[in-house]
Amino acid sequence: MTELSKDAAPPGPASGSTPAQVKGRNGQLALLGGTLLVDNTEASLVSSLFPLIKQSLGVSLGALGILTAASKIVGVFAGPFWVWAAQRTSRKSVLVVATGLWGVWGLAAGFSQNFTQLLIFYTILAAGYAAGGPIITEVIGDLFGSSSRGRAVGIVYGTVSLVSAVIGPLKGQLAGVDEGWRWGLWGIGTFNVLLGLALLIWFRDPGRGAAEQQLADLDQATRDAHSKLTWDKAFSLLKIRSLMILIISRLLSGHLLVITFGVVFLVDVHGFSTQKAALVTLPFGVGYFLGTLLGGAASDWASRRSPRYGPVAVLQAAQFAFAVFAFFGTQFHYDSILVYGTFFALMGASQGINPSVNRPMVMAITPPELRAPAFALYVSIAEAIAWAGYSLGAGFLADAVGLGAVFLWVLVVLMVINGLFLSLLYRPYAADTVRVQRELDARRDTALTEPR
């Protein structure tokens, strides 16, 4: 594999290529962001209102770990399946069904009469959400070129988090309604179905490779002919060193736990009411939103200043920052929820940097047809296993040693280890981005020289 000398920038697109500018991309981005928002809101509803579910169904804290773990484990199988289905049919049809109309299972979950029923319906619901991560992220890569992907990803994930943060305290107010968690599932499930219909009517798939400068001026049939996904190509993902390091790093991402157990932590460890504890979801979401914008801008700036080291350094710094904020925000007792809100905002900001940096990095080291499978590995499998493992382990460990100790080891110590581990990414990342650019250049040359 070719190595770059010093800090040289990867070679640019082929000479004579057309600047990539997908028509109507901002409108499509808004529609995809809305899909992620509804999916994210319904997926987080159970964790936010678990104290009510705990009381309503008579379960222990470990049940939250089981719910979260089951919803993530099913994604390990469902994510790759939806990617395969999108290759065989269309990305639009999969998004309409899996991330839209699938909301009927949320409605069913609201009618659960015991924990077993809730577990079954919630797990089926999560199987549909598993399509959103890899497919929507892949489409964003086809809507925006490499120079603007960081900002696009940051805007989507940031806006989703910000609106979710605003909705968070409102979800907490359902604690004052009899069986409020059921009404939450019914309401979000309904919106999910409506959004599926909106996707059916207004979503327009730009096609794979539409935003690549080397391929932008080629027709879709030509792009597809030279970028078909095969089993050999799919298995070649395992040979991309940068991707393997990013995947292992995702397995070490202990900060995922704060989303699942943050509210419960403040209730059980620091004695706040569910309604008051839920207030921290707002500053967390605002912080996450600002972090995604900061991460997108920092990633684009760092890539221009130092293609070899820039994005990796930003990603690494985000892990260390989270560990510091988590230490001071979870290992000390403060009487005011405002203090916790401040630290949750800082944790949200440092966590929000991640998707704006790591998603464009995955896009940079994979050709268009491999991005959905890559994100299936990275999000649907690696992130799901990590989230399931931490949530399941934390749920039972919390019953034994308390959430305070769990948060120390997972949110602080493990995140420091993760930051150190990312040092391994410096060498292979630049070489892998060069390889992709050369492959796209070769495809363009082949498409222009082959007889029609």
Q: Per residue in 31-88, pLDDT tens? A: 888 877 776 776 667 777 777 787 788 777 677 778 877 887 888 888 889 888 988 8
| Average pLDDT for 298-306 | 79
Domain boundaries in the chain? Answer: 25-204+239-449
Q: pLDDT value at position 235?
A: 82
410-448 residue pLDDT tens: 999 999 999 999 999 998 998 898 888 888 888 777 777
CATH for 25-204+239-449?
A: 1.20.1250.20
Rounded mean pLDDT, 163-188: 74
Asked if pLDDT for residue 6 goes beyond 70, the answer is: no
- For 34, 99, 139, 252, 287, the CA distances from 411, given in Å and listed in that order, are 29, 30, 31, 10, 17
Q: What is the mean pLDDT of residues 183-203?
A: 87
* CA dihedral sign of residues 153, 207, 100, 203: positive
pTM: 0.76
Confidence band for 365, pLDDT divided at 50, 70 and 90: very high
Say what the pLDDT of residue 1 is.
Answer: 37
Give Cα 433 distance to the centre of its chain. Answer: 22
Structure tokens given for 36: 């992620």
User: So what's the pLDDT on residue 417?
Assistant: 96
pLDDT above 60 (res 2): no
Query: Does residue 323 register a pLDDT over 90?
Result: yes
288 pLDDT tier (thresholds 50, 70, 90): confident
